A and B are shown apart, each in its own frame.
Chain A
Amino acid sequence: MSSRILPDFELLLPQSVPEAVELLAAHRDRITVMAGGTDVMVAMKFAQSPAQLPDYLMSLEHVPGLAYVLFDPDKGLRIGAKATIAELLAQAEVKQHYRALWNAARTFATVQVRNTATVLGNLLRASPAGDCSCAIYAIGGTVALQGPAGRREVDIDDFWLSYGVTARRPDELAVELILPPPAAGSRCAFKRMTRTNEDLAKLNVAVRLEMAGNTCVDARLAMGCVAPTPLRLTKTETLLKGRELTAEVLQSVAASVPWEIDPIDDKRSTAEYRRQVSGVLLKRAIQEACGAA
Chain B
Amino acid sequence: MKNRDITLHINGEECRLNVAVNRTLLEVLRDQLGMTETKYGCGTGECGACTVLLEDGKAINSCLTLAATMDGKRITTAAGLSDFGRVNHIQQAFIDEAAIQCGYCTPGMVLKTASLLATNRDPSDEEIRHALEGNICRCTGYEKIVKAVRKAARTMPAPAACGAETCTEVAQ
Contact = CB atoms under 8 A, between A and B. Distances in A.
Q: Are A and B close enough to touch in the complex, i.e. CB under 8 Å?
A: yes
Interface residues of A, number: 30
A116 B51 CA distance: 12
Given A10-B2, A61-B69, A113-B134, A86 B45 contact: no
B24 A6 contact: yes
Given A4-B43, A37-B64, A198-B133, A112 B59 contact: yes
Contacts of A13: 1, 69
A86 B65 CA distance: 17
Contact of B21 (A10, A112, A113, A198): A10
Nearest to A44: B22
Contacts of A59: 66, 69
Given A10-B1, A38-B45, A59-B69, A111 B115 contact: yes
Contacts of B23: 6
Given A37-B65, A116-B60, A110 B133 contact: yes
Contacts of A45: 43-44
B22 A6 contact: yes
Interface string A109-132: 111110110000000000000000
A112 B2 contact: no
A198 B64 contact: no
B109 interface: no
Contacts, number: 89
Nearest to B50: A112
Which has the most chain B C-beta neighbours within 10 Å: A7, A42, A197? A42
A293 interface: no
A39 to B, nearest CB: 9
A198 B112 CA distance: 16
A118 B134 CA distance: 17
Interface in A86-112: 86, 109-112
A113 B131 CA distance: 12
Interface string A51-75: 0000001010100000000000000
Contacts of A37: 64-66, 69
A170 B51 CA distance: 33
B29 to A, nearest CB: 14
Nearest to A59: B69
A192 to B, nearest CB: 14
B22 A9 contact: yes
B146 to A, nearest CB: 14
Interface of A: 2, 4-13, 34, 37-38, 41-42, 45, 57, 59, 61, 86, 109-113, 115-116, 197-198
Interface of B: 1-2, 4, 21-24, 27, 40, 43-46, 48, 51, 54, 58-61, 63-66, 68-69, 112, 115-116, 131, 133-135
13 contacts: A5-B22, A5-B27, A6-B23, A9-B21, A10-B2, A11-B68, A41-B63, A59-B69, A86-B58, A109-B134, A110-B48, A110-B133, A116-B65
